[in-house]
Structure formats: C-alpha cells, structure tokens
Structure 1
Amino acid sequence: MIRNDWTLEEVREIYQTPIMELIYRAATVHRQYHDPNEVQVCTLLSIKTGGCPEDCAYCPQAARYHTGVEVHKLLDVETVLKKALEAKEAGSTRFCMGAAWREVRNNRDFDKVLEMVKGVANLGLEVCCTLGMLTEEQAQKLKEAGLYAYNHNLDTSEDYYNNIITTRTYDDRLKTIEAVSKNGISVCSGGIIGLGEKEEDRIAMLHTLATMNPHPESVPINALVPVPGTPLENQPRVSVWEMVRMIATARILMPKAMVRLSAGRVRMNVEEQALCFLAGANSIFAGDKLLTTPNPDYVEDQKLFQILQLKPRPAYKQQEAKCCEHA
C-alpha cells in the first residue's frame, strides 16, 4: 500500500531497524514493485557550468569558492543533442541537463533550453532538467517542450538546511517542487548525506519526501564528494552502510519511486554497489562526470552490469505501465 501519511516516528523506526532486517524488508518491497534486475541508466550533462551566486557549502560551482571549476556559458543546442545521442548509444534512457543557475529567467538562454528539451525528447530519451528555481509558467513551458522530469533536491532536513545554504530557503525548494508537480512533470528530489548532519536530519528529510503527494518519481541518494575549496572539503567519507540505510528506508517509504544511487558511487567497489541495489536502488548516473565531480565511466558500468547481471530499464516504462492500467 502506497502511503503519504507516514509519521516521523514511523520513519525513525524503519531507519533504525537492524541493518540485515532492513535490507531484507526493503528488498522484499522492491520486488513487489520493480524488476530487481533492472536499473535505470541516466546521464547528467552540465549545460552551463560555474559562476553560480548561491552559497551551497558542498558545491564546486559556487562563484564565491575557489575550486578550480572553469565558468562556461550555456552550451549550444547542437552540442547538447550530440551528447544526448552519445549517451543513448552508451545505454542511457534518461538524459538530464543541469545549469548552474539560481533560478530560471525568461530570456534567450531559457529559449535555448526549451529547444534542447524538444530535441532530446525526439531522440526517445526521458528528458530531465535541473535549472534551479522555477515558476509555474516556466514549468508549463518545459512540459509543453517535452520535459519528463525535473530535479530539485531538498539536500537535507529543514532544520539543518541553513547550515548548508543561506541564499535560498527550504520553502523556495518546496515551491519549485510544487510548481513542477502541478504541471504534470515527474519530480526528482532527494538529498545528500555526509554534510555534517545528524541521523535525525536524515530521518526528517526522508519524512518530508515520503509525505509528498504524490511521492517523487525519482529519489537520488547522494554521498558527499568533498571538493577542495568548498566549506565541506574536509568532511569524512560516508560509509556504505549509511548509504544502504538511506536507500532501504527510501525504498520502504516510497515503493514505486526510482531510488537513485547517485554522487559518491565513484568511491564504491562492485560489492558495495551490489549492496545498494539489493537494498532497493534501481537507478544510477552513468558517464565520467556528475556535472563537475567524478563518476564511474561507461566501461566500468558495463562491467558492473555484466557482473551483477543487470539490464537497463527502458525509457518511459512507468508512463507505459500507467497507460496499460487504464486500458
């Protein structure tokens, strides 16, 4: 049964379940709603890099930090469509375009992004964007252009949020998610662990996601990749067990969601990634970069899929399943 009325106490109880029992329970739920041997392969491309006015403490693209990231203006449409085609040929079925903007502005750059969305959708890929804050009108334009999903992470709990970002509020994030959802675009929203938050912050963030109605279609679980020059450059590495606990809890709370093993995967070996898939992760980012941070390359992921006998999830599968339900 899909629930949107989880209490904080219920989420805490699930999260704190002994790890072996938690993995078993999550794996059982996973099999009820998904093919356990199928993983959604997504590619994330930075279409406008660096120079962001925000102060997100983990981000190498913030203009105020000295991280060595070179500022690049918005890519041209042809370059992006070429990258999308390469991603499709390498096995990706979702293509996400990220721009280091605080918010979307109604200008020529946004018009170009709408062209990119149309072009990527025409390739048969699920097209996703992460462009910062959006209005309802902008969300509507993206939907009309063919946007399938929009990523806007909560990052952490509402209580811990101001320790990580001060240039926008938690409510700003929730308003963008609402604007996306109102326009029939799939919501992709998750968070990052390893920011110095407490266990209670992780539980609170999962509670916020699990009480959205509907649940996010995709829930990325990121482990911080510390970048020299950012305020969080000296944060210790998150253990695989912390990632497994987050993924398993997300899977139990949001059974139909794609739970994405995202940033931090580059530091995991095959066995650690296998544990995450067993706990309910069924989506990854492919390609050697996640915007500006390292990620396993396509060849490594092909080996991973061969070893674990995984297969890529087809594009638009969830949409097709809904059509079949109504047929």
Structure 2
Amino acid sequence: MRDKTKLRNDWTKQEIEEIYNLPLLELIYKAATVHREWHNAEEVQMSTLLSIKTGGCPEDCSYCGQAARYQTNIKVQALLPTEQVIAHAQKAKDNGSSRFCMAAAWREVRNNRDFDRVIDMVKGVNELGMEVCCTLGMLTEEQAIRLQEAGLYAYNHNLDTSEQYYEEIISTRTFDNRINTINNVRKAGITVCSGGIIGLGETHGDRISMLLTLSNMPKHPESVPINALARVEGTPLQDNEKTNTWEMVRMIATARIIMPSSMVRLSAGRIEMTEFEQGWCFMAGANSIFTGERETLLVTPNPGVSEDMQMLQNLGLKPMKGQSEKATEQFETWNANL
C-alpha cells in the first residue's frame, strides 16, 4: 500500500491550476486515489442544516434570498424556540445525520439574549451526541470561545469566492472580515468549515484562487463545502446559468487532492443534479452531503432522506460510522427491501 499523500500548506497557484486543468477523467482518478488513502470511500457523512433564524439580513450577498434588500419569496422568521431546534436535531439524528448545523441570517453575532439562546441550543444538540455546527456570521474570538465552551464542534464561514472577485458579489463586508472570523474560530479551538460557491459569474482563475486560500491556511478547514449557485428569484444572480456538473466535479476533485484530510461536502445545488451526476461527485472525492426532510437547505430545495438513502444504496455507499442505532437500522431496512 502506498504512503498517504502528504498534507501541504505551501501550494502555488500554478500547481493548483495544473491539477484543476488535468483531463477530467485523469483528475477524477487522481482524486479518487487520494480519497482512498485518507478516507473510507464507502462512507458518506450525513449532515442536516436548519435555518434557526431566517431572512431580514442587512448584508447584500448577491446570491442570497435572505438579504432584506431583495424582494424574494422567503418568509422572515425570528429565532426558533430552543426546544423546537433540539427536536429537529433529534429527528435528524434518527434519520442518519451525525452533524447538525444551525444557521442564522445575521451579519454578525451580538452579545444579547438571542446569542444566549444559541448557546443553549449548542449545549442541547451536543448532549445528543452529534457534531454541532453553527453559521452565524462574523464573530469575535471571545464569542467563539463561548461557543466552544458550550460544545460547538464546527463553525461554517465560507469564503464564497476569490479575494479578487469578492467585492463583485458582496460590498457590505470584506474578504478580510471572512478570514478574521475563521482565525477567531481557530484560536478558540473550534474546527473550521469553509468553502465556496461556483456559478457566481467568476472565472476559473477565481475558483483556483479560492482553493489556494483554503489550502494554504495554517491548517486546512476540516470541512470544505462546494456549492453550486442556487438561483433565487429576486436576487441579482437569479438569471445566471445553471452550474455545469462537470465543473462541480472538477472543483471537488481539485479540493480533494490539495486538501486530502478534509471532508469535502457536496452542498447546495444537489436538487438540480441527477443521481448519476452526484455519483461522479462522490467518485471525485466528496464524502459528505446535507440531507433532511424534503424541505429546504436553508431556503433552497434539497433532496429528502428517502431519496438520499436510496441513492446511497444504489451507489454502494453507506452513512458514516458513528450514526445512531436507529439510523443504522433504517439503512439496513433499505438494503433488505431491494
């Protein structure tokens, strides 16, 4: 058995560009090889994402239907009751998820009663034995420490795109604001979940630059979500073209090769992908998805649990070990019903 591909934090843009531009099947082969060195290729981590506070955000992210300045069909919702969030987490665990992510449409965390309630939510989900993740906007090191002490496992703060293209997509914060929050998360001892979105109108060079930033962090993000733009009516990017699946595969494969130990998450955009297309993403090194009831991934459609279980079974994959007993039984039932 060959030695594992070594972790590197000194990639050059040219090196990543050469990997990214490999002939597609050669790229997938290399990524699949690296994936098998570092991970069990038969396992996929099931994660559930819940919007605990929806809409009314003061930011102007061009892709997001939760920005207050855009006229979308997204209904503004105040912070959910703690008990309701815990109930959602328990249901997610029963359905096979090992990670539960809570998202609030805030520009930044404020030291107020709502943050106190989020702390209680983190404690409650942590007590269920799940990995707890939050995405709440910008936060200080002190706030990150509070979350860590409550049991937070991961914090999501996507770069979205390259530093050069960032201001074309968002003007209400800077790329450095993103990096500062990620640094605060690291200092608090919380794992980092950070990736980006393709289909924003960026160039291939922008995608490579974003991957360069992620892969040259002092420690690679433990989780790297690769999202395809979910086109939301009423946002500036509503008329962008659907993201080509082969471009998603190319991004996933490149991320897998340059950040071999990370979980690469096939995130937004799955609802527009066939099972065959998702299968190529898994082959290229994706080993995590967001799943749940056929409701929403935040505020955009997402496949349901039954569809995802059927897909995993068809592809010979299974939920990552460490799931609840009930989830394991459920998956075995799916196999028995073949």
Is 1:36 matched with 2:32?
no
Is 1:254 matched with 2:259?
yes
Superposed displacement of residue 314, structure 1: 3.2
Superposed displacement of residue 315, structure 1: 4.6
User: In structure 1, what is the Cα distance between the partners aligned to 2:266 and 2:104?
Assistant: 21
* Equivalent position of 1:173 in the other structure: 178
Is 1:242 matched with 2:236?
no
User: In structure 2, what is the Cα distance between the partners aligned to 1:249 and 1:313?
Assistant: 23
* Equivalent position of 2:140 in the other structure: 135
* Equivalent position of 1:324 in the other structure: none
User: In structure 2, what is the Cα distance between the partners aligned to 1:204 and 1:249?
Assistant: 12
User: In structure 1, what is the Cα distance between the partners aligned to 2:117 and 2:19?
Assistant: 44
User: In structure 2, what is the Cα distance between the partners aligned to 1:277 and 1:53?
Assistant: 36
Is 1:185 matched with 2:181?
no
Superposed displacement of residue 113, structure 1: 0.2
User: In structure 1, what is the Cα distance between the partners aligned to 2:269 and 2:208?
Assistant: 20
- Choose the corresponding residue for 1:298, options 305, 312, 315: 305
* Equivalent position of 2:124 in the other structure: 119
User: In structure 1, what is the Cα distance between the partners aligned to 2:46 and 2:75?
Assistant: 27
Contact 1:151 1:187 in 2 (8 A): yes
- Choose the corresponding residue for 2:278, options 257, 273, 279: 273
Where structure 1 has 5 or more consecutive residues not aligned to the other structure, the ranges are: 317-327
* TM-score for the superposition, normalised by structure 1: 0.96
* Equivalent position of 1:154 in the other structure: 159
- Choose the corresponding residue for 2:65, options 55, 60, 75: 60
Where structure 2 has 5 or more consecutive residues not aligned to the other structure, the ranges are: 1-5, 324-338
User: Matched residue of 2:48: which SS?
Assistant: strand
User: In structure 2, what is the Cα distance between the partners aligned to 1:33 and 1:174?
Assistant: 27
Superposed displacement of residue 173, structure 1: 0.2
User: In structure 2, what is the Cα distance between the partners aligned to 1:92 and 1:22?
Assistant: 30
* Equivalent position of 1:320 in the other structure: none
Superposed displacement of residue 311, structure 1: 1.2
* Equivalent position of 1:19 in the other structure: 24
User: Matched residue of 2:236: which SS?
Assistant: coil
1:302 is aligned with what amino acid? M
2:22 is aligned with what amino acid? T
User: In structure 2, what is the Cα distance between the partners aligned to 1:107 and 1:313?
Assistant: 37
Q: Tell me the alpha carbon deviations over residues 125-171 of structure 1, each in whole angstroms, 9 at most, x when there is no partner.
A: 00000000010000000000000000000000000000100000000
1:116 is aligned with what amino acid? M
Give percent identity, aligned residues only.
66
Q: Tell me the alpha carbon deviations over residues 264-285 of structure 1, each in whole angstroms, 9 at most, x when there is no partner.
A: 0111111100000000000000
User: Matched residue of 2:290: which SS?
Assistant: strand
Superposed displacement of residue 195, structure 1: 0.2
User: In structure 1, what is the Cα distance between the partners aligned to 2:13 and 2:288?
Assistant: 26
User: In structure 2, what is the Cα distance between the partners aligned to 1:259 and 1:213?
Assistant: 18
- Choose the corresponding residue for 1:311, options 293, 313, 318: 318
* Equivalent position of 1:210 in the other structure: 215
* Equivalent position of 2:336 in the other structure: none
User: In structure 1, what is the Cα distance between the partners aligned to 2:169 and 2:62?
Assistant: 5
Superposed displacement of residue 216, structure 1: 0.1
* Equivalent position of 1:321 in the other structure: none
Aligned length: 316
Q: Tell me the alpha carbon deviations over residues 228-261 of structure 1, each in whole angstroms, 9 at most, x when there is no partner.
A: 1000000001111000000000000000000000
Superposed displacement of residue 305, structure 1: 1.0
2:212 is aligned with what amino acid? H
User: In structure 2, what is the Cα distance between the partners aligned to 1:275 and 1:250?
Assistant: 14
* Equivalent position of 2:96 in the other structure: 91
User: In structure 2, what is the Cα distance between the partners aligned to 1:162 and 1:134?
Assistant: 20
Contact 1:39 1:313 in 2 (8 A): yes
Contact 1:53 1:63 in 2 (8 A): yes
2:65 is aligned with what amino acid? P
User: Matched residue of 2:103: which SS?
Assistant: strand
User: Matched residue of 2:132: which SS?
Assistant: strand
User: Matched residue of 1:260: which SS?
Assistant: strand
